[in-house]
Chains A and B, each alone.
Chain A
Amino acid sequence: DSGVTQTPKHLITATGQRVTLRCSPRSGDLSVYWYQQSLDQGLQFLIQYYNGEERAKGNILERFSAQQFPDLHSELNLSSLELGDSALYFCASFGGDGDGYTFGSGTRLTVV
């Protein structure tokens, strides 16, 4: 157990639907990052939150949004899903240079 918890582990949904992925960071870490891993795009940075505020944005589609709550857990919302959104979505928390990143085990999203 890495200390970063992601739920659900697997998600199958239809095109056009909306889903929410959840992440609880490692205890004490204020930063949460979301990454997407797909066969054609590889591992891509989507978005970062730090202590409830958006800190950085990467290649995140407008159909996707995220937030970090006061208890520091984060949710990634994916809407109007397309087949190409099928991927493994990772959450990671960051504890500073010394500790670095800790990744969760990911949520595998399949859009059918």
Chain B
Amino acid sequence: AQSVTQLDSQVPVFEEAPVELRCNYSSSVSVYLFWYVQYPNQGLQLLLKYLSGSTLVKGINGFEAEFNKSQTSFHLRKPSVHISDTAEYFCAVSPRGDSSYKLIFGSGTRLLVRP
């Protein structure tokens, strides 16, 4: 079985400051890794994904994440946030070899960007 832990339920940060949203996972098999963003009253939008290859993944809106296999982490970073980045962010995994490709989500981190 797989589980995803997002330790921070809310992260307040000032505009133009850097931010890191933490994600750790537990799995007995290799996984694909994802970060999704949910703006108020909207569905989930893919920020970035790690399938294989380089452990540093760049996504949309200036976000990037680094896969660390030894620490089973996939932290999301942005060097300078904007007010418009205020949203809920979800880390998710999908077990490799599982033909369903279902996603197991973390509990989410609310990023609150203040002016």
Contact = CB atoms under 8 A, between A and B. Distances in A.
Interface string B45-60: 1100101000000000
B26 interface: no
Interface stretch (A14-22, A73-81, A101-109): A101-109
A92 B94 CA distance: 14
Contacts of A33: 102-103
B108 A42 contact: yes
Interface residues of A, number: 23
Contacts, number: 49
B51 A48 contact: no
Interface in B92-106: 92, 98-106
Contacts of B104: 45
B115 interface: no
Interface string A76-102: 000000000000001010100100110
B74 interface: no
B85 to A, nearest CB: 19
A48 B100 contact: yes
A50 B22 CA distance: 33
A90 B43 contact: yes
A98 B1 CA distance: 25
A112 interface: no
Contacts of A44: 105
B102 A97 contact: no
B44 interface: yes
Interface of B: 32, 34, 36, 41-46, 49, 51, 90, 92, 98-108
The 5 closest A-B pairs by CB, nearest first: A56-B100, A103-B43, A43-B105, A103-B44, A105-B43
